[in-house]
Chains A and B, each alone.
Chain A
Amino acid sequence: MKKSFLVTTIVLIAFLGFNSFKCNEANESAGYLIGDAVSDFKLKNVNDTFVSLSDFPDAKGFIVIFSCNTCPYAMASEDRIIALDAEFKPKGFPVIAINPNNPEAQPADSFEKMKQKASEKGFTFPYLYDDTHSVYATFGAKKTPHVYLLHKEQGKNIVKYIGAIDDNVRDADGVKDRFLANALYELLEGKEVTVKETKAIGCGIKS
């Protein structure tokens, strides 16, 4: 039994090693998976205060969205993110938006420009600056926008859904499937989320 476990492990390691060699850096930082507990963070908000998940003791969970000022896909999602906060904050799931981009790579994603964006768009939610560009990496976010839906269970924030807001980033009127909202409705009804992961095109994070 032990031996076969060892062989399996060696084969697995060899396989993974080969794969990561072949695919270069694509799969190295996996980040959180469905069911993982998220580590809390402390990031600066556009109002110059610091925000952590522990600042929301009454929240049932969080809609964490990695977003930015500049990506056309993020910009196309802004009004939908505001609407999600309006709908789900009263139900216990506030939006927490995080800008992971390094302003040295994308000057228009600076903290000052974030303040401008939040004020112009009237953001009703924290818009946090991942100034060490580490929180997004811990999550495993690859792009903007990239959503992580968290559900508080026994004091831990558990990842319940990862992916897109809905099935049509470009055109809010063309949306047929509201992936994130559907997951939230299921959580609010005490059900398991059925569609746990979705994919969408986004802007690679500029770190």
Chain B
Amino acid sequence: MGGCKDSGSTTEMGSGDHAPPTGFSERIPIYDFDKLESKYLKINSSETYIINFWATWCQPCVKELPAFEKLYSQYQNQGVHLVLVSLDFPDKLETGVIPFVEKHDLKGEVVLLDDPDANTWIPKVSESWSGAIPATILLKNGTRQFYEQSFTYESLEKEVQNLLKR
């Protein structure tokens, strides 16, 4: 059980990203919101970051994941990055998230956000976010675009292409 009591120490694991991967749990770091924010949400780069909030139990999230993966595979060489932020409960990392990532062979970077105080961090992602998932951020040059919606491949590609033109 990786309960929330452990979140302090498991958060530290995040800084061990460069340790040799011995298993998926090493490759799926658990972050609190501050860590997630500093590592991804504040990136100021000319490359494009797609940051998708999802969970294995969220049907519409699971349904749209192939579109994100396909887009990532086709646009990776144009400087597009994909970060899949799982909101699964941390005790489901081993039994739910890792088997899911393995089964679907996800290529995007998967991280688990373990931060129970959602009322504090949801508005930091976007003031307009109700907290429903799926939700997605597109990030380029330090500017975030936030979407509380499901994407198809076409609708996602359109948004990404618009960003790539800038």
Spell out A's residues near B (CB within 8 Å).
Answer: 22-27, 71-72, 105-106, 142-143, 146, 163-164, 167-171, 174, 177, 179, 198-206
Contact = CB atoms under 8 A, between A and B. Distances in A.
B57 A169 contact: no
Contacts of A171: 3-4, 116
B89 A142 contact: no
Interface in B128-166: 128-134, 145-149
Contacts of B4: 170-171, 174
- Chain B interface size band reads 20 to 34
Contact of A174 (B60, B116, B146): B116
Interface string B82-113: 00000101000000000000000000000000
- Indicate the member of B58, B87, B117, B130 with the most A CB atoms within 10 Å: B130
- Indicate the member of B55, B131, B147 with the most A CB atoms within 10 Å: B131
B9 interface: no
A199 B149 contact: no
B149 A206 contact: no
Contacts of A168: 116-117
A198 B119 contact: yes
A26 to B, nearest CB: 5
Given A71-B57, A201-B87, A179 B116 contact: no
A168 to B, nearest CB: 4
B21 interface: no
B129 A199 contact: yes
A167 B57 CA distance: 21
Contacts of A72: 55, 57, 89
A24 B116 contact: no
Contacts of A143: 130-132
Contact of B128 (A27, A202, A204): A27
Secondary structure type dominating chain A contacts: loop
Interface of B: 3-4, 55, 57-60, 87, 89, 116-120, 122-123, 128-134, 145-149
A199 B57 contact: no
Contacts of A146: 130
Given A26-B128, A142-B130, A199 B89 contact: no
Contact of B89 (A25, A71, A170): A170
Contacts of A198: 119
Contacts of B147: 23-24, 26
Given A25-B149, A106-B59, A171-B4, A203 B116 contact: no
B51 to A, nearest CB: 15
A143 B134 CA distance: 11
- Indicate the member of B60, B117, B132 with the most A CB atoms within 10 Å: B132
B119 A199 contact: yes
A168 B115 CA distance: 9
A180 B89 CA distance: 23
Nearest to A26: B148
